[in-house]
Structure 1
Amino acid sequence: MSTTSSTDEERKIAPPEKHVAHVGEEPVEESAPEVALVTRYDRFGLGNIMAKLFASGVEARGVERVPEDQRDGEFAWNNLLMWWSVNTVLTTIPIGVLAQEFYTLTLPHAIATILCFGALGAIATAFISSLGPKTGLRTMIITRFSSGYIGGILYSVLNILTQLGFSVTAVILGGQTLASINPGTLPLVVGIIIIGVLSLIPCFIGYNMVHYYERYAWIVTFIVMLFLWGLGGRAGFDINAQKPLEDTGRNLSADVLSFGGIVFGSFTGWAPVAADYNCRLPADTPAMKVFLLTFFGLFIPICFVEILGAALMTITNPDYVAAFGDGNTGSLLAKVLSPWKGGGKFVLVLLALSVVANNIPNTYSAGLSIQALGRPFAMVPRFFWTLLCFVVYTVAGVAGREHFSTILSNFLSILSYWTAFFIVIVAEEHFIFRRKNGPLGGYNFDDWDSPKKLPLGFAGVIAGCCGVAGAVVGMSEVWYTGPLGKDAGAEFGADLGFELAAGFAAVTYPPLRWLEIRLTGR
């Protein structure tokens, strides 16, 4: 179903056999979204190509709301299995590595930080996920009910950059690992392209293929992670290895807060896409069921693998230290698996390919976020934007392939800033203003693409700007440290960016939204 404007009557959800779409200004009756796309592009001679793609299983639906009578519960448990597959992967390991590489934390302190900040991030993301069945909408469209059409566009831009950033780190690490299997035989650039292409295929096909792949991908990679734990232990974990290097006092607390922000970002990085993968569940699916399945699907595998990354950095064997000398996590993992010789190389191939499961939601949701930029973008088929995203992040991965650790550290820190205030604003809208007996009394989901019926968005946009201000004064990055971030740490400051971003937005949004409703009634 297209997302162009229509009258109130045309916006009513029609039965499956007869929906109303729009091509330009003229309404076109359709039985499914693919009919509108075929009709629209037939004038350019592309109708037959579109029809063949959809007949072969390529998903036609984009950001349009999924009507209640077109949903099923087939993928309910995938809220657990999907996120387990997405995060039990190679790309989660380097996040734990950063605890020692950049913040000199001992293993016990790294574990405590991962568990505490991870639980907070998992709760936030699981809440966003629970809105999928209730609304039948993609995550970036849900933001329109709190921040209006314009605010939704701003969030979509941020999410596009977020998913592309995640994809860049994924293809680089996967490429590094493939290249390290037999050094000198496979160029890093080729490894990056291989990971990118494999990630594209299920995303190009769409929602069902994504779920089928993620339902089973975790099995092999979870076994591989157990192998890494065992071989790492054989090489010798030393929980006190970082003790002489670890900071003390205020510098230690600063290290914990800064690394905690990265961990929080590794969880909440999925929040802007969390509802994308269960919007086809029945509207009466219990919210608590979705919440719990998503929470444990995130918390258990991410903590398990990030702690593995931190543990591998405690190996003091000089050969292992040298393998990681240039910040190449792939080389370190190759060394860990080296006792198995040929078998270790095969396991390393599996580990490198696990990146595909992690990169699939990035690629799929980035295309949806481009559609959420507005009606002209939504009229272009989802799979086209998916293809474009693949090209962009693969090229960026090739260009930044030598600076993986720096990209990962800076990217995840900044990521936690905007996702923090985004989650707070959506949550306050849901629990304060859209509650059953609240000022608005709930949602009218038929208004999802009606700018005149959605909020103006000034409350959400201003609160978001306040969140940005909070992040700026609290952040601590290599290139800038805010005044509050500087005061929180003795030497290099502490990163309080996501905490202050969430706090500033939480305080400013309710009064601004109350005023907006009072003045506009929506």
Structure 2
Amino acid sequence: MSVSDTTPKPGDDSLLDVEKNAARDGVLTRPSLEMPKKANSGAGLISRLTARDGETYSVDYEKHPRWYRRLLEAGVEGNGVKAVFFTCLLNLLPIPTGLLATLGYGMNFRDAALVILFFALLTCIPPAFMGTGGMETGMRQLVQQDTRLGGRYLVVVPLLLNAATVTGFCLLSAVVGGQSLAALNPGSVSPSIGIVITCLVALAVSLLGFKAVHFWERWTWIPSLISLFIAVGCGGHNLRLQVDAPPATASQVISYGCLIAGYFITFGGTSSDYTIYQNPAGVSKIRVFVCMYLSFLVSPVPLLILGAAVAGAVPNVPTWVPRFVSIFITLAIMIPCAFKVAEEWEEGLTNFLSVIGYWAGCFDAVTILELVAFRKMDYTTFDHAIWNVGRKLPLGVAALGASICSMGLVVPGMAAPWYTGPIAKTTGDNEFEMGFAVMALCYLLFRWIEIRVHGHL
């Protein structure tokens, strides 16, 4: 399979025929990124945020406004990052997530490790599967799925949810980084100052461009891994001092398993953002799936289990304690929120993972069903030229309606520090399982009706 150089005019209906013919001949066609010239096309930010039906933004350097070109010359990045999963997942964040199993849910270490492994093996499948679509379509995850599922306007709902999820993970990482700096510099660096330093370093790296980020993530896993080995070597002898805990109950297993699902399955909202940089010629989807699946497992799972081991020994070891415009907006949100989360770390992490697990499970269920049941695994049905043509996109009612229906069982199945539903009082937190199942069944029916009414995918 290769990429065609065919460059029909953006918005032209002939593009549909070109793509269909190319698909029949075994050629994946992508529309040109060239935007037709028009008066004052580069004047101001508004011109960069508007496009006529079927238009895509230009990658021509000279068409950018002068202020934007100066930012690019300074090294500010306007694109995404390349496919790096193993390295970017090798960080401290899984450790406090694993900590919740023994310290928060009262499980013994053996049961915690088994729950982590089992739910990780299961919930890494959806995001790895969804990531293969980026290689086939050349579109990022939310562009690839949401404009096909949520329509032109209702798509704002999953977009905001995904933005909140990514910001939440950044926030948690900032808290962990800030507390680590404070622990290494007692008396001179407070956790609040450490959080600010962590956020500013992350801001600087994010502005350097995808090549710099790729270089950063290619090599920073080495000092991260060395630091983890040193930490385990210094305090590892205390890990055997695990507290005695009875065998895990079904409620504990389901509740903590839901948190693990919330950790892994949320990658489904960004998986294709990494694989769009994979050359589709000669690259097997199975190979991409296996690489992504193993990356999800190999990096975080051992750290999750390490976190469970650390938390299991905490009671017995008294000396242990627990795109550039949007980047600045995110930073302004993260720092004050991180201060608050740091004050109530365990409760904040539990609330965050439990809530995002629900919406991410629903999103993954809809995405997989749309591709498998309605598009028959045919990636050529994703038409690039209609990305902003509302009349040719789905209404979005099926996905939103299925989400609303699933709330009928999700809310009673929730078990969070701020609310416990009647079902969860007996079974434990099962909102993820409830949401995934109900969402899938409702979406199959509603999407079938939507296609019949709308007349097309």
Match of 1:132 among 112, 116, 134: 134
The RMSD of aligned alpha carbons is: 2.7
Select which of 300, 320, 324 maps to 1:323: 320
Q: Is the 8 A contact 1:315 1:321 kept in 2?
A: no
Displacement of 1:201:
2.0
Query: 1:34: Cα distance to partner?
Result: 4.7
Return the alpha-carbon distance in structure 2 between the equivalents of residues 463 and 483 of structure 1.
22
Cα 1:222–1:495 shift into 2, 3 Å? same
Match of 1:502 among 423, 436, 442: 436
Which of 213, 217, 230 aligns to 2:216? It is 213
1:356 aligned residue: none
Change (3 A) 1:403 1:452: same
What secondary structure, in the 3-state scheme, does the structure 2 residue paired with 1:321 have?
coil
Aligned positions of 1:76-155 closer than 5 A: 78=83, 82-142=84-144, 143-155=146-158
SS of the equivalent of 2:36 reads: strand
Candidates 177, 180, 194, aligned match of 2:180 = 177
Residues 1:306 and 2:307 are matched in the alignment: no
Query: What residue number does 1:361 align with?
Result: none
Q: 1 CA distance for matches of 2:375 and 2:432?
A: 25
| Distance across 2 between alignment mates of 1:30 and 1:507 | 37
Quote the residue 1:484 is aligned against. Answer: 423
Distance between the aligned counterparts of 1:174 and 1:453, measured in 2?
46
Change (3 A) 1:114 1:20: farther
Secondary structure of the 2:429 match is coil
Give me the TM-score of the superposition, normalised by structure 1: 0.75
Partner SS for 1:314? helix
Instruction: Name the CA shift for 1:29/1:263 in 2 (closer, same or farther; >3 Å).
Output: closer
Which residue of the other structure, out of 335, 338, 344, is the alignment partner of 1:394? 335
Structure 1 stretch displaced more, 143-152 or 103-112? 143-152
- Name the amino acid aligned to 2:172: T
Matches within 5 A, 1:463-474: 463-474=402-413
Cα distance 1:314–1:194, how it changes in 2: closer, same or farther (>3 A)?
same
Q: Which runs of 5+ in 2 are unaligned?
A: 1-9, 17-29, 42-46
Give the paired residue count. Answer: 421
Q: Alpha-carbon deviation of 1:298?
A: 0.9
Gaps of 5+ in 1: 1-5, 39-46, 63-73, 330-381, 489-493
CA distance in 2, matches of 1:30, 1:118: 38
Percent identical residues:
27
Distance in 1, matches of 2:250 and 2:173, equals: 30
Q: 1:317 to 1:101 in 2, by over 3 A?
A: closer
In the other structure, the counterpart of 1:372 is none
**Which of the numbers 234, 250, 267 marks the counterpart of 2:264?**
267
Question: After alignment, is 413-422 or 121-130 more displaced?
Answer: 121-130
How far the C-alpha of 1:56 sits from its partner, in A, is 3.9
Q: Is the 8 A contact 1:470 1:503 kept in 2?
A: no
Deviation at 1:90, TM superposition (A): 1.4
Tell me the residue number matched to 1:163.
166
Q: Deviations over 1:398-454 (max 9, x none)?
A: 2433111111111111111110010000000001111168xx973223222222211
Runs of 4+ in 1 over 6 A off after TM superposition: 25-30
Q: Which amino acid aligns with 1:470?
A: L
Q: Does structure 1 conserve the Cα–Cα contact (< 8 Å) formed by 2:259 and 2:354? A: yes
Separation in 2, partners of 1:58, 1:482: 47
Q: 1:393 to 1:436 in 2, by over 3 A?
A: closer
Distance 1:497 1:137 in 2: 30
**CA distance in structure 1 between the partners assigned to 2:52 and 2:310 by the alignment:** 61
Distance in 2 between residues matched to 1:460 and 1:317, nearest whole Å: 46
SS of the residue corresponding to residue 85 of structure 1 reads coil
Paired residue secondary structure (1:455): coil
Which range moves more in the overlay, 506-515 or 276-285? Answer: 276-285
Give, as a single letter, the amino acid of the residue that structure 2 aligns with 1:101. Answer: L
1:356-371 map, 5 Å = none
